[in-house]
Amino acid sequence: MNKTPAAKTLMLGDVRPFYVQGPVLYWTVFNRNEFIQKLEHGTHEAKNYIAAIRPDYIYVDWGEVNRLSRTYGFDPALKPSSIQYLSSPDRFSVRRTAEWEPFLETPYGRVHASILYQVIAKEPKPASREKRVKKNKRH
C-alpha cells in the first residue's frame, strides 16, 4: 500500500495491518476509534488529531465501512467529505494518492471501494529577519 517502510498509516474501515509497511494506527468496529471520536466533535478537532499523530497516509476501505455500517453500526461520523475537507492549510494537506475499484453506492454517494490519501506536512516558515533580530536583542 505505502512504499516507505517508515511511513505511518492511519487505517479506517480495514483492520488488516499486515498489508502495510511501517507503523499502523487502526481500530476494530468494537473499539472506540480515536480519529472518529474527534470527527464527532467537528473537523477542527479531527485536524488537530491528524497534526498530533502525524500520519504519512490515511487509508479508507469504504467497502468495509459500508458493510460494517449495515451490520455492526460503524460510526456514521466517517463519510467521504470528512476526509475531503481534512487539509489544514498552515499545517498539512491531504491528497488522494490511489484508489481501487469497484465503485460503491453509499448513503453519501458513489465512491471507490478503497482510497489512499497522502498527508503532506507543511514546512514551518523560517522566522523573518526582523523577528530574529528582535529575539537576539532580548538575550
| Contact yes or no for 8/53 (Cβ under 8 A) | yes
Residue 115: which residues within 8 A CB-CB, separation 6 or more?
Answer: 59, 60, 62, 83, 96, 98, 99, 100
Query: Which range is least confidently modeled, 37-41, 66-70, 99-103, 127-131?
Result: 127-131
Q: The pTM is what?
A: 0.83
Residue indicated by cell numbers 458493510:
67
Q: What would the pLDDT profile of 62-109 be if each residue is shown by its tens digit?
A: 999 988 888 888 888 898 888 888 999 999 999 999 999 899 888 888
